[in-house]
Each structure stands twice: as structure tokens, then as C-alpha cells.
Structure 1
């Protein structure tokens, strides 16, 4: 299933790339789509066979690629599918964090820190507001210090500057590293994470 999703992503990116510029080099297209040069050629041939693209030979042994009506329809279908999956992910993620902040409230947490300045931090702040829990700051070891969503962004827990009851994990890119770091800094009992990030947590005995 993951392989099918990746194939759909590549096909959509190829079709969108051709729509923007049908004459760019295969090397440029490979860089744009994020795949190897040989794979670009293979996917272009696949799209031509499917009737999504047509190719016109140009001087200097190059080709101009154009979307067919069928290609426009497929591009639209794949774009809508991507959007639908993105919305489904956001809905599921919001539900996970709503449950997480309910757990924080049951622990009588009043002030929390969000770990990671990535987009999930915004979902966390909304869920915190619903539970009347205050977010005192964001901790992200890889971010530049500043402000995000009206809150200070720090690179360590020590820089928070005020007491907090616990931390909420919002790192979807390097969760395992963030979990280990948080456990070493504040302990496992002060860290809450959504179910979809728990498989990245190290075994408790490995952290003792």
C-alpha cells in the first residue's frame, strides 16, 4: 500500500512538472520530483503508455512532453486523492491530540511544553485551549530561537524559564531521537505522545 502511495505521488509530481514546463531537461525534472534520472525516464514512458502524456521530438535529441485530456483528468484525480489523504491525516491527528490533552487534564497538568516547532504544534495549541491547559513554550533542538504561534521557541527545557507539568511530543520527522532526548531531560513520566508516535519510543529498560 505504501508502495502504491509513493507511485501515485511520483506520477502526480511528473504530470504537474510537465504541466509547468514540458521542455525542461530530464535531469531538472528528476531533481524537481526527487527521484533518480533513470526513474524519470521510466515514469515518463509509463505515463505515455497510459495515455497521460504525449511526446514530440525536438532538436538536440530532446523531447517536448504535453498532457493529454486523459492526463489532465488523472492529474486532477491524484491531486484530489492527495488532498483527501492530507485532510484525513489532519482529522486523525487532531483526534489523537485531543485525547492526549484529555489525559494531561486528568493528570492535573496546567502548564505544558510542546516538543517540536513543526506544524503539529499548531494542532497541539488548539487542543490545549479546549482543555484550558496553558502552553508555556516550544522546545525544538533544531529550530532557531524566536517565536511561533505567539510563543517562545527554545532549544532546551532549561531555557523555558518557568515551571511546567509535562511535555507533549509533536515531532513527526525524528520522533525516536526526540523521545530519547526528552526522557533523558525530563523523564518518561513527564512526556505524553500520541499513539502513532509510540512505536518509536525506546524500551524503558534501554533508557534506565
Structure 2
């Protein structure tokens, strides 16, 4: 995601949250946006300057935030852009996963280990299911959840389920995840969708 996309996404999330709750606090906004309090405050002030948000003082030194007509229009515009980008990503990711699967001979019993919790992994699971292949789980050393797509998530190599092929789906650190997947034993084919920036680039150890 480039800087402009990141800014648009944060602005959209802020406008959506204010649209849901006028009494939202800046600390709550920071948590929902996943950013530091200072950055949330900066985005809020920017939205006020652009006329998207109106501030009204409430009792007990509190503030209420409301979307203006311009703010509602901007939220609608950003939502449309987000959906377009999402649809484009889905199409590209689906085609990329299909190409990776096509390049692999029938992988034993069709058991696939995903490498990374992500939107790409969700799309890959759908494409695998269409082929009758089964996702056994996801290997992601930085995952904060125990299960994903109804299957286990492993942060360490120990205990990873038996699988026939591995598919790299890590969007945050594809190079690092590729190294970790390649180090798993016993060895298994590693598929890399060409939508990822490491596709076609040899691992650092080669």
C-alpha cells in the first residue's frame, strides 16, 4: 500500500467511526485506526480543516464530532475508491494464485500450508477449494490469532500439520516469510504468487 492509499484508508476509517459515534474520543480513534494518538489527532485536525468534520463542545470538557455534508460526500467517495481497489486486488490475486497452483503438479493429497495471515491467504483458500485442495493451516511467526480460515495458525515450525505444498501469502514480509517457509523440514514445493514483490527473485541464500 503506497502513502496515498494509506492516507485515504485512515481518513475513511476515521470518517466511518465518527459517523457511527459522535462522542468518540481521540484515544478510541487511535485504537481503531491502529495508529499513535498523535497521528490520530493529526488526521482529525486535517478532516476539520477540510470541512469534513465539525466539532461541538460538550459538558465535562468533552467534545462531540459530526460529519458535515462535505464529510458524508468524501466518505462516499473514499468508500467507492476502496471498493474499486479491493475488487482490482481480488482479481489480480485470484489470477496470481491460480497461476501458482497451475505451475505445480498435483500435490499429493492436495494439502496446502499457507505462509502468512492476509487477504491474499483468504483468496488463495478459495482458489484452492475450487481445485479440491485442502488448507491445513497457516504458518505466520507474527500472527496474533490462534486460528485463521477455521484452521490452526502456527507461529513456530513445531507442530505444523502435514502438507504437500506451501503457498507464500504474507503481504507484510514476503521475503522473510519465504525464508522461513523454505527452512521447514521435510521439504515441500514452495509456490509464490507473482503478485508478491519477491516472485522471480532468488532467496538470499542462493
Q: TM-score range by the shorter chain?
A: 0.7 to 0.9
Question: Is the contact made by 1:114 and 1:167 (CA closer than 8 Å) also made in structure 2?
Answer: yes
Question: Is the contact made by 1:139 and 1:156 (CA closer than 8 Å) also made in structure 2?
Answer: no
In structure 1, stretches of 5+ residues that fail to align are none
Matches of 1:34 and 1:158, distance apart in 2: 31
Structure with more relative contact order (C-alpha pairs < 8 Å, separation 6 or more):
2
More helix by share: 1
TM-score normalized with structure 2 length: 0.75
Aligned to 1:89: 89
Give the CA RMSD over aligned residues: 3.5
Question: Is the contact made by 1:55 and 1:64 (CA closer than 8 Å) also made in structure 2?
Answer: yes
The number of residues matched between the two structures is 201
> 1:22 and 1:169, CA in 2 relative to 1: closer, same or farther beyond 3 A?
same
Residue 160 (structure 1) shift: 4.0
Aligned to 1:21: 21
Alignment of structure 1 residues 114-193 onto 2, 5 Å: 114-116=113-115, 118=117, 119-128=119-128, 132=131, 134-135=133-134, 137-140=136-139, 148=149, 156=157, 160-161=161-162, 164=164, 166-186=165-185, 190-193=189-192
Matches of 1:16 and 1:4, distance apart in 2: 18
| Cα deviation 1:5-58 (Å, max 9, x = unaligned) | 122122212211211222232222222222333333332232222221222223
> 1:173 and 1:39, CA in 2 relative to 1: closer, same or farther beyond 3 A?
closer
Residue 124 (structure 1) shift: 2.8
Residue 139 (structure 1) shift: 4.6
| SS of equivalent residue, structure 1 residue 30 | helix
| SS of equivalent residue, structure 2 residue 196 | helix
Aligned to 2:52: 52
Matches of 1:6 and 1:158, distance apart in 2: 36
Question: Is the contact made by 2:115 and 2:167 (CA closer than 8 Å) also made in structure 1?
Answer: no
Instruction: Return 170-179 or 96-105, whichever deviates more.
Output: 170-179
Question: Is the contact made by 1:114 and 1:121 (CA closer than 8 Å) also made in structure 2?
Answer: no
Larger Rg: 1
| Cα deviation 1:149-193 (Å, max 9, x = unaligned) | 6x777775975457x3x3222233443333112212258882111
